[in-house]
Amino acid sequence: MPKLVYFPSLRGRAEVIRLAAAEAGLKFEEETFTDFPALKASGRLPFQAVPMWEEDDGLKLVQSNAILQHIGRAHGLYGSSPREAALVDQALWTAEDIRNEYRKIQTAEPAKRADVRAELISKHLPRFFSGLERLLAAAGTPYFAGQNVSVGDLALWYALELGRDNGFGALLADLPKLNAWYDRVAARPKIAEYVKSPARHPVFKLPA
Ligand SMILES: N[C@@H](CCC(=O)N[C@@H](CS)C(=O)NCC(=O)O)C(=O)O
């Protein structure tokens, strides 16, 4: 069984991997640690960072997006043509950009956090969210890379869920295609089952 090495009780960068595994029906075990410095010192992590994904054939993979892409390719969640795969990548990198916007709140000095949050609300997040609305409208497809859900949808879905959980939900209010897409992903049976599972780790709250 594959193994996901990550912090205990944290959604973090592992969460999209958990969502992809859920959608793929892929069983895996979680290895958590209590002593991160010791894990880093062990030399097991190429870049002293997690998540890491290990498979029985000896594959050891770091970089959350590489892990996600690997699961996507292996389980039919990566589009059905090079063109669709490119759209999956576009979605993945947009999710990364959105996460980087949230991260600005984490990395800001505490006294500047309110200003950073205000600028995200007035400027940066609307740019991404309205852009996603336009992409869906132009494509006319149920998902960002065509007729079928992909790891790109799952990464974006988690980025938006994180936004809703952290007080940015109002920015999505007037974006009907994006809202419908969000609900479509959430209603996928395996995603819905995972999301309501008691095993899911708690919501991640950005610092106020
Ligand atoms: N680009 C990497 C970033 C990995 C990363 O920075 N992971 C964090 C935890 S989410 C980490 O392990 N940081 C090292 C540390 O906290 O010392 C990825 O997407 O996997």
- Residue 117: the pLDDT is 97
Q: Tell me the CA–centroid distance for residue 61 and ligand 1, in Å.
A: 13
For residues 17 and 53, the answer to whether their CB atoms sit within 8 Å is yes
CATH 1.20.1050.10 domain locations along the chain: 82-188
- Report residue 61: phi and psi, to 5°: -130, 130
* CA of residue 67 to ligand 1 center, whole Å: 13
What confidence score (pLDDT) does residue 26 get? 98
The pLDDT assigned to 10 comes to: 97
Q: Could you tell me the fold of the domain covering 82-188? A: Glutathione S-transferase Yfyf (Class Pi); Chain A, domain 2 (1.20.1050)
pTM value? 0.97
- Residue ranges, comma separated, of all CATH 3.40.30.10 domains in the chain are 3-76
Residue 177 alpha carbon to ligand 1 centre in Å? 32
Report, as ranges of residue numbers, the positions in the chain whose pLDDT lies below 70: none
Q: Measure the CA–CA gap between 132 and 9, rounded to whole angstroms.
A: 30
Binding-site residues, ligand 1, Cβ < 6 A = 12-13, 49-51, 63-65
pLDDT of residue 84: 98
E strands, the chain, in order: 3-5, 29-31, 52-54, 60-62
* Predicted pLDDT at 178: 98
Q: pLDDT by residue (tens digit) across 17-47? A: 999 999 999 999 999 999 999 999 999 999 9
CA angle 181, 166, 197 (to 5 degrees): 65
Residue nearest to atom 1 of ligand 1 (CA): 63
CATH code of 3-76, in short, is: 3.40.30.10
Mutation test residue for ligand 1: of 64, 96, 100, the one with most atoms within 8 Å of CB: 64
